[in-house]
Amino acid sequence: MNTIAAYDTDDARWAAVQQREAAADGHFVYAVRTTGVYAQPSSAARLPRRENVVFFDSPQAAEAAGYRPSRRVQGDQTRAAAERAALVARACRLIEASQTPPPLDELAADLGMSPFHFHRLFKAETGLTPKAYGSAFRARRLRAELSAPEASITDAIYGAGFNANSRFYEASDQLLGMRARDYRAGGAGADIRFAVGQCSLGAILVAQSQRGICAILLGDDPDTLVRELQDQFPKARLIGGDAAFEQQVAQVVGLIEAPSIGLQLPLDVQGTAFQERVWRALREIPPGTTASYTEIAERIGAPRSVRAVAQACGANRLAVVIPCHRVVRRDGDLAGYRWGVERKRELLRREAQA
């Protein structure tokens, strides 16, 4: 039976509450007008009168309507959160141990869940879909294997979990942004177009790999920015941008001057699975608003990783596009910023006035 469809009417939901169906937990909650609290369908609390009951799709919706969780719900939420974290951790280990990315249906079956429910749970807890998590993990492992001084590309192929050369070469460009042998050689043979200019915040460098914009750097000294790019890919061919590339740079400069307009250019975002979770959460912060490091850690389902969130912000190479300038301390202090606190303050001022 499709459990999602089974609870799509108030009558079906009330029947589930009357039967205290545990299978309905997570699909909706019911609130009681006379007490102002809400509970899961399987709650053992005394059944209220039907005319006093209202249904919500989620606890968040119930709380937005002014209801508070019952004491039982608070305890259930703590246990449920631990159970969800354990399930997702198990799924992550299954993905990491697989030679090839396991299908969604297979992962869900291993955890005793429907594919829809598993997909939604995994994304809510990690900030990534199972497929995106698998790609990020494989990319991280591939970069680590290629960076080993004695390892050959063949060693890296099998060490990263590819069981056939053909599968590897189909995916390597997408994972690395260049051919594996070019990455292995510090970018040797790869073309990275770049341009250095000036904007109202000082010097700016914009670089583009074969996949998209891979660096937007800000600073006081253009030469320092170029050296920073060279350190990332010491053997790549750094090519001065032509007229077409200069137009893309102009779009980036326009973003610096008006951060709220966004940027409609392909990006080459490379990081660990955790970094990509953080960066995805940063891009969901609306212009003109801020979030604390603690809030970002909670949003990605890792509330104890506040310091790691700050480190991920510091590792960001795409200034403004991945808006780490919108992250502040819990007390509202601007804290550090890779490209200077004054630039952070100015970017926030511009967004607030937009």
| 324 tagged catalytic | yes
Determine how many CB atoms are found less than 10 A away from the CB of residue 104. 16
3-state SS, one letter per residue, for 230-268? HHHCCCCEEEECCHHHHHHHHHHHHHHHCHHHCCCCCEC
Measured distance CA(17)–CA(330) in Å, rounded: 40
Determine how many CB atoms are found less than 10 A away from the CB of residue 114. 15
Measured CA distances, 349 to 126, 198, 353 (Å)? 31, 20, 6
Ramachandran category for residue 25: left, alpha or beta (phi over 0 → left; psi -120 to 50 → alpha): beta
Contact in structure between 216 and 317 (CB atoms under 8 Å)? yes
SS3 35: coil
SS3 353: helix
Label residues 241-261 b or e (16+ Cβ within 10 Å = b).
beeebeebbeebbebbeebee
- Nearest alpha carbon to residue 316 among 302, 290, 336: 336
Retrieve residue 206's tokens: 């914009």
Q: Give the active site residues.
A: 324
